[in-house]
A and B are shown apart, each in its own frame.
Chain A
């Protein structure tokens, strides 16, 4: 007989789980409906039944090393079909939330990101930072709501009471935007690197391979390519997760459009940043990134299309969350924080643009200020937010693909042998 293993349940862990959204898990009676109805759960040790029993038993070590929480795309089929209303889908969401909270240091940010009571800190940091900058600039320019004209001679914006709203005049990119966000980006990238290393280390407890003997094991490059092209770019799993109800459609379209809206905005930001900073070396590309742009400028068109895509995606995803049957699926603070912050970014961004065009400085600058706060709140805390799935899920999917832990279409029908 094997050596008896003493199970060390972690009750605090169960309570934490319930706090981050897994509150119904105790109702599970292990019928395994969930793992069967999940359209993308693999055949061997499928999720989420095993996660439900681990969670009930407080087996923290199993759950924090579980790759499967990242394979789930939260379609909610398991929770819909659950005979007990135990919401296995919510448990996996809660486990992901827990990972956002605890995976990387400083865990203080993870804690702040876990509850609405810390919102003043989260918003306060960028609010104070940019208020400080605003006050300094106001003292330099002589106004909190300055108007500018372009001085060809000085090759800069100069204040002019008959001029127009120029955000780059009040908050010069070179000194107040790019260095701060550049630093934030570097820190976030570093934190993500540590997070992924930690994640991969936690996966080492998994079997070395799920690939059936003889089947080729994908290389890392193939796995990355597969995940990016076959999954992320096409959102194919989202459709596989079920595409029959209005909610499924809202979820797929919402995320898909939102995702490509962000891609559009990322392209715009990259063009502006590369041509601006690159323009300091190769001067002829500099005008490409010169802001504010004319509305007909293709880059500006892309930016505006991106903003509208955000609005459309947000509307779909928010509708879905608002119409959820609370007995089947719930939404946590993580869900609403992300949706809320992106809503604020999109709305403040669009209004900042409109108010700039309307040249209403007393409204335009405060709105732009709020826009900066929201953008900071999205990017600076990214590894501890739900948006962290952008990196963690992608990394886990690559790892899973390399292991061969993928949902396989049934090739042969097995028969019980007695």
Chain B
């Protein structure tokens, strides 16, 4: 029995877009999202290209479309654990982890704040802390708290047990979905900074990653949008951007992540806006400003306080007294190798496909870096950064394409 339904793996911008495209022409769509909330990497940004909107802007529209469309069914804290069948007729086994919070949009912020334990906030890439009961963003979808039960102290559990919307007995569930096609929108993860041993391996407090910078700049981030040094909370007077931190590098990510140059230019603008006195230096191999982004780059680079230096930073160490970051770089134009000190350094780490190093339940081909390169013949269509590093706009376009292919797969039977 063939199915007209479509499974979308991943609830980031690509996954949401693909799901809506298919649902709005009448297909039942299941979104399976690993984390507790939809929105993916975009939700973690302060602003995103091309219009430099805050993430709430685009995502809230998408969430509204999901709410208004009964054909879109969302499973969060869910993962695909097995698949059988063939194109047009797949049975997909999904495991759903317990949320421990009942449906509804109850405001549990008071209860959350009263919990004793502070946990590292992985949504903020470890920059801030959160409670075991949390909601990662104010515009979250579903607008429903999630409880990390294993991280609670006995007293906290007692307190939580008394709350009627908290369900401590919630347990793992497994369901099977019948679908005709699959869209893989598994997205990307920031490249593991601990592998960049010559750039401090994440051990220098004031040498942060570009995604951490987004969280610092975000209004609902760990500093409420203040771009300050993690070590002492001081406003940085000098900021360096280290491009290709692990990208275009055989030893790390052997490709260009497309958007990091633009991200650094954008972040340079964040810094200039918040700290008008700060001087900024961007160290790059080639400044890649694809298509119309070049106009944005020109605008940013016309700022006399933003300087670009051709030369890849090959060493970053901490100046122990000040917490400053000392970068060693050869300016390939002047031919001078020098140590340059900055109060804050941002590593422009690239996008690694989420599937890199993961065992896929799907039988689709991935390249040596983990990007999906096959599956179309099986009715499994990749979208967005699962396929290639992209910006948000191009991810959405790619999602539309994948949705069309998925529709062709289910209708063509």
Which of B25-33, B54-62, B324-332, B376-384 touches A? B324-332
A281 within 8 A of B: no
CB pair B330 A83 closer than 8 Å: no
A41 within 8 A of B: yes
B73 within 8 A of A: no
Query: Within the assembled complex, what's the spacing in Å between the Cα atoms of A50 and B341?
Result: 24
Q: Which of A37, A415, A416 contacts B315 (CB 8 A)?
A: A37
B285 within 8 A of A: yes
Shortest distance in angstroms between A372's beta carbon and chain B's nearest beta carbon?
47
CB pair B279 A416 closer than 8 Å: yes
Query: Within the assembled complex, what's the spacing in Å between the Cα atoms of A410 and B330?
Result: 14
Q: Which of A37, A44, A327 contacts B314 (CB 8 A)?
A: A37
Given contacts A32-B330, A44-B335, A418-B279, contact A81 B251 (CB under 8 A): yes
A46 within 8 A of B: yes
Shortest distance in angstroms between A296's beta carbon and chain B's nearest beta carbon?
53
A308 within 8 A of B: no
CB pair B311 A32 closer than 8 Å: yes
Shortest distance in angstroms between A143's beta carbon and chain B's nearest beta carbon?
63
In addition to A44-B337, A45-B336, A83-B312, 6 A-B residue pairs with Cβ atoms within 8 Å of each other are A31-B332, A32-B330, A36-B312, A36-B315, A49-B330, A82-B250
A414 within 8 A of B: yes
CB pair B279 A29 closer than 8 Å: no
Q: Which of A32, A42, A84 contacts B329 (CB 8 A)?
A: A32
Query: Within the assembled complex, what's the spacing in Å between the Cα atoms of A260 and B329?
Result: 37
A413 within 8 A of B: yes
User: Per-residue CB proximity of B281-295 to A under 8 Å, as 1/0?
Assistant: 100011000000000
A324 within 8 A of B: no
Which residues of B are found within 8 Å of A418, using beta-carbon distances? 279, 304-305, 307
Query: Within the assembled complex, what's the spacing in Å between the Cα atoms of A50 and B337?
Result: 12
Which residues of A are found within 8 Å of B109, using beta-carbon distances? none
B102 within 8 A of A: no
Shortest distance in angstroms between B281's beta carbon and chain A's nearest beta carbon?
6
Which residues of A are found within 8 Å of B329, using beta-carbon distances? 32, 36
CB pair A33 B336 closer than 8 Å: no
A218 within 8 A of B: no
CB pair B332 A49 closer than 8 Å: yes
B117 within 8 A of A: no
Which residues of B are found within 8 Å of A81, using beta-carbon distances? 198, 251, 314
Which residues of A are found within 8 Å of B249, using beta-carbon distances? 83-84
- Taking CB atoms and an 8 Å cut-off, the chain A residues in 68-83 that contact chain B are 81-83
User: Nearest CB to that of B249 among chain A residues?
Assistant: A83
Q: Which of B286, B330, B340 contacts A29 (CB 8 A)?
A: B286
Which residues of B are found within 8 Å of A340, using beta-carbon distances? none
What is the size, in residues, of chain B's interface with A at 8 Å between Cβ atoms? Answer: 35
A35 within 8 A of B: yes
Given contacts A43-B338, A414-B339, contact A35 B330 (CB under 8 A): yes
User: Nearest CB to that of A80 among chain B residues?
Assistant: B251
CB pair B336 A415 closer than 8 Å: no
Which residues of B are found within 8 Å of A234, using beta-carbon distances? none
A-B contact count (CB 8 A): 91
CB pair B307 A32 closer than 8 Å: no
Query: Within the assembled complex, what's the spacing in Å between the Cα atoms of A141 and B60?
Result: 105
Query: Within the assembled complex, what's the spacing in Å between the Cα atoms of A83 and B328?
Result: 17
Given contacts A83-B249, A83-B250, contact A416 B340 (CB under 8 A): yes
- Taking CB atoms and an 8 Å cut-off, the chain A residues in 81-122 that contact chain B are 81-85
A30 within 8 A of B: yes
Given contacts A29-B285, A46-B330, contact A83 B248 (CB under 8 A): yes
Shortest distance in angstroms between B292's beta carbon and chain A's nearest beta carbon?
25
User: Nearest CB to that of A410 among chain B residues?
Assistant: B339
B238 within 8 A of A: yes
Could you write out 30 A-B pairs with CB less than 8 Å apart? A29-B248, A31-B332, A32-B310, A32-B311, A32-B312, A33-B312, A33-B314, A34-B314, A36-B312, A36-B313, A36-B328, A36-B330, A36-B337, A37-B315, A43-B338, A46-B337, A49-B330, A49-B332, A83-B249, A84-B248, A85-B250, A410-B339, A413-B319, A413-B326, A413-B339, A413-B341, A415-B341, A416-B238, A416-B307, A418-B307
User: Nearest CB to that of B319 among chain A residues?
Assistant: A413
Query: Within the assembled complex, what's the spacing in Å between the Cα atoms of A45 and B333?
Result: 10
Shortest distance in angstroms between A30's beta carbon and chain B's nearest beta carbon?
6
B244 within 8 A of A: yes
7 smallest beta-carbon distances between A and B, as pairs: A83-B249, A36-B314, A31-B312, A32-B330, A31-B285, A32-B311, A33-B314
User: Nearest CB to that of A27 among chain B residues?
Assistant: B250
Which residues of B are found within 8 Å of A32, using beta-carbon distances? 310-312, 314, 329-332
CB pair A414 B340 closer than 8 Å: yes
Query: Within the assembled complex, what's the spacing in Å between the Cα atoms of A49 and B336?
Result: 11
Q: Which of A30, A42, A82, A415 contacts B340 (CB 8 A)?
A: A415
Query: Within the assembled complex, what's the spacing in Å between the Cα atoms of A145 and B314?
Result: 64
User: Nearest CB to that of B311 among chain A residues?
Assistant: A32
Q: Which of A85, A327, A414 contacts B338 (CB 8 A)?
A: A414
Q: Which of A30, A37, A43, A410 contacts B332 (CB 8 A)?
A: A30
